[in-house]
Amino acid sequence: MKRTILTLMLLAGPAAADVVGKVGVDWVGNDILVEAIADPKVQGVTCHLAYFDRSMLDRLQQGNWFEDPSNSAIQCTRTGAIAIGDIKRGPKGEDVFSASRSLIFKTLRVRRIYDEANQVLIYLAYSAQVNQGSAKMALSTVRLEQGEGLPAQ
């Protein structure tokens, strides 16, 4: 069963993800999953997010049943003509994607920040935790061509 799809249905995250790659990394069944995430408010941008997915055997051996590592990697690219919808401006940006990485306390998020001065969309993958933040993050940018950005406010 695709745990990511189930998680998305339960959390109703901002964007859906499609698993496009799965690489086994050891004999106990741990995998690296690669998902494609189309930005729901920016037509023509697709992000590929890679993260570690623990197997049931690994959970039995290591304990910590309900949590996956915070590590992730992201690369976003232009996949067509860019048309920006109603996105949030400002330094906090907005979530594009979110998926649970533990039973309750940890979420893997992708946040879009619009760097208006440089005409760049920034995509930040990070782990949000209830009680202790993580310094593990990944960053990708998509440069906008002339006329693709939002009008100045």
**In the chain, what are the domain boundaries?**
3-143
pLDDT in tens, 55-100: 667 666 776 666 666 678 999 999 999 999 999 999 999 999 887 6
pLDDT in tens, 12-25: 345 778 999 999 88
Dist. CA 100–CA 67, nearest whole Å: 9
φ, ψ for residue 6, nearest 5 deg? -60, -45
φ, ψ for residue 74, nearest 5 deg? -140, 145
List beta partners, residue 50.
34, 73
| Cβ atoms within 10 Å, residue 39 | 25
Arithmetic mean of pLDDT, 19-46: 91
pTM for the model: 0.78
